Amino acid sequence: MYYITKRLEISAAHRLSLPYASKCTNVHGHNWIVTIHCRAAELNEAGMVTDFTHVKNLISEKLDHKVLNDVLPFNPTAENIARWICEQVEHCYRVDVQESEGNTASYEID
């Protein structure tokens, strides 16, 4: 099995829809650290699991310097963002989304 990891920094804002009072229901921003893990039993014709630049462009173009509520069709919690990114990237099996220091959500395909 071959493995790659791509780490990105995304600057984006969001507001959360929560069933309780929270300052996070106001629009606020983060410098998100996103770590994308991919694997494949076979390498592609270029000798890669997937191209690092392709992964960066795919996610950065959709999320960087955006209001996530405007571009994602769900409540943009770190958990939901991790799942969505995993679904976008070929051969991805795990995504870690660090919203701020000490606050990281992960999604992993079973």
Please work out, in degrees rounded to the nearest 5, the angle formed at the alpha carbon of residue 78 by the alpha carbons of 103 and 83.
130
Residue 59 and residue 61: Cα distance in Å, rounded?
6
Residue spans per domain, the chain: 2-108
Say if domain 2-108 classifies as CATH 3.30.479.10: yes
Three-state secondary structure call for residue 66:
coil
Q: What is the pLDDT of residues 26-83, one digit of tens each?
A: 999 999 999 999 999 999 999 999 999 999 999 999 999 999 999 999 999 999 999 9
The answer to whether 13 touches 28, Cβ cutoff 8 Å, is: yes
